[in-house]
Structure 1
Amino acid sequence: MTGLARTLLKAPSSVWWYLTELMGDTAYAKYVAHLRAHHPDAPVPTEREFWRARYADQDANPGARCC
């Protein structure tokens, strides 16, 4: 397989990875992995609880958002 063919085959997965990271789709999975690695005794919130807390924090501390 040539380098160009390999690049063309990898491009869709790279775009997909970028978009999911940009939109935060993997935030819960990353949070759970961090929690289990660094705080194994802490209870793991459900995905719904995680997103509620995340959005509540964003609303309370908007940071550099425009709206």
Structure 2
Amino acid sequence: MSGEAAHRPGRLGVLAHRLRAGARWIGWYVREVSGETAYEKYAAHLRRHDPDAEVMTRRQFERSRMDAREADPRDGFRCC
């Protein structure tokens, strides 16, 4: 085998790479749609704009988010 051929991935390597990339994308998409990343975004935003501000715990953040949803029926209407 030549040196160049030894470093090229075969078809299975390319397929495995694409499957892993697809799985990462699906994982990212599900986390974004489900709102799981909301706390991470909140904390990063607050730290970036006011490093001295106190960041709520995840539990406090989720409670605040739920209270806001329940206070305004237009935002995330829930039947139960």
Query: Which category of TM-score, normalised to the shorter sequence, fits these structures?
Result: 0.7 to 0.9
Q: With CA pairs under 8 Å and 6+ residues apart, which has the higher RCO, 1 or 2?
A: 1
Gaps of 5+ in 1: none
Indicate the RMSD between aligned Cα atoms, in angstroms: 1.8
TM score, norm. by length of structure 1: 0.81
Q: Extract structure 1 runs of 4+ deviating beyond 6 A.
A: none
TM score, norm. by length of structure 2: 0.70
Gaps of 5+ in 2: 1-8
Instruction: Give 1:53's aligned residue.
Output: 64
CA distance in 2 between counterparts of 1:45 and 1:37 reads: 15
Match of 2:47 among 36, 48, 63: 36
SS in 2 for 1:44: coil
CA distance in 2 between counterparts of 1:58 and 1:11 reads: 33
